[in-house]
Amino acid sequence: MNTQLLLIQVFNGLVNGAFYALLSLGLAVIFGMLRIVNFMHGALYMLGAFTAFALGQAFGLGFWPSLILAPLIVGLLGMGLERGLLSRLYGLEPSYNLLLTFGLTLLTQDLVKQVMLSRFAVSSAPYTPPAALSGVVNLGFVVFPKYRLFVIALALVICLVTWFVIEKTRVGAIIRASTENPNVTRAFGIDVGKWVTGVFGVGVALAGLAGVLAAPIYSVEPYMGAELIITTFAVVVIGGMGSILGSIVTGFAVGVLAAVGSALYPPIANTLVFILMALVLLVRPSGLFGLPEGAR
């Protein structure tokens, strides 16, 4: 294989990695603070894409307003879910959160399918990127679609901002304090419940944003999050559950490794991430960036 092809694979891998990173980042934020394993994350990613599509169909809104609005809508929906349903399960085994969100996933996927079929008469719809981002860019060593470069760049920026806010700012300090010890944090006069809802909303909005970004590449389809969420779970396990930096680095790394791996040996494309996961678990059961389970 020549260098040119390899480089294109690396860039394609970065695009996939951008989605893994955004999704696993949201999962990590939610898990780190709420101990919720949000199985619905894939469905919310799909809802992000679907909302952008529906906004376009119903109000003629283009990509840019949808890029802001769809994550907001998904985030608000997530906050409603947290308040209305998930909060009823706090204090029980975290498994019940997983089960509840699994049920919600089945529900959401088929609901969107019904809506798409009955309201828009399609089962899957293409979504066009804005004119400013169509075409290709010549990077000197490789020619690559402009929109895909934009996805990589935006995902990187969002990931770094999220990491910075959580690790370096006062807001992050409150979030981390609420995670470590909710009771003491409450004693300082901080309304932990509100922060929990807010964090859930932000984590879910990240999934919605990833969905809007994915729409022009993969087109809008009710089950577009179904396989992706499983890969994302594997990324989260490799990176270490709840680790912000781990989810970002592993997300991009897994994307690139899988793309390069599949160029060398195509059948391995989808399984590579799970093979990686098994190997990492053998050596470090708590993931590359995770703390040992007892230390939480």
Partner 1 sequence: MTVLPGTPARTDRGRMARAAWLIGLGIVLLILPRLIYPVLALDILAWGLFAVAFDLLFGFSGLLSFGHAAFWGTSAYVTAFLLSHGQSVPVAMLGGTGAALLIAVPIGFLSVRSVGIYFSMITLAFAQMLSFLALQWTDVTGGENGLQGFARPNFLGLDFSDSVTRYYFALAVFTVGFYVAYRTVRSPFGQVQQAVRDNEQRAQSIGYNPARFKFTAFLISAGLAGLAGSLYTFGHGVVSLEVVNWRTSGEVVMMTLLGGTTTLFGPVIGAGLVLLLRDVLTTANLPAGIVTGVVFVLVVLFFRRGVVGTLQYWLRRR
Binding site for partner 1 (CB under 8 A): 35, 37, 85, 88-89, 92-96, 98-100, 102-111, 113-114, 226, 230-231, 233-234, 236-237, 241, 267, 270-271, 274-275, 277-278, 281-282, 285, 293
- CB of 23 or CB of 67, closer to partner 1: 23
- CB of 192 or CB of 229, closer to partner 1: 229
- CB of 31 or CB of 53, closer to partner 1: 31
How many Å separate Cα 122 from the centre of its chain? 25
Shortest distance in whole angstroms from residue 133 CB to partner 1: 32
Shortest distance in whole angstroms from residue 159 CB to partner 1: 21
- CB of 73 or CB of 234, closer to partner 1: 234
- CB of 132 or CB of 281, closer to partner 1: 281
- CB of 5 or CB of 117, closer to partner 1: 117
| The two three-digit tokens of residue 27, written as one number | 């999962």
Alpha helices in 35-134 (DSSP H): 41-59, 63-84, 94-119
Write down the residue that tokens 């989605």 correspond to: 19
Shortest distance in whole angstroms from residue 266 CB to partner 1: 9
Shortest distance in whole angstroms from residue 239 CB to partner 1: 12
Beta bridge partners of 136: 145
Shortest distance in whole angstroms from residue 15 CB to partner 1: 21
Shortest distance in whole angstroms from residue 243 CB to partner 1: 13
CA 64, 249, 81 angle in degrees (round to 5)?
Answer: 55
Indicate the length of the chain as a whole number: 296
Residue 153: count other Cβ atoms within 10 Å of its Cβ.
12
135 contacts: CB under 8 Å, gap ≥ 6: 145, 146
Residue 174: count other Cβ atoms within 10 Å of its Cβ.
16
List the one residue out of 71, 84, 38, 81 whose CA is nearest residue 210.
71
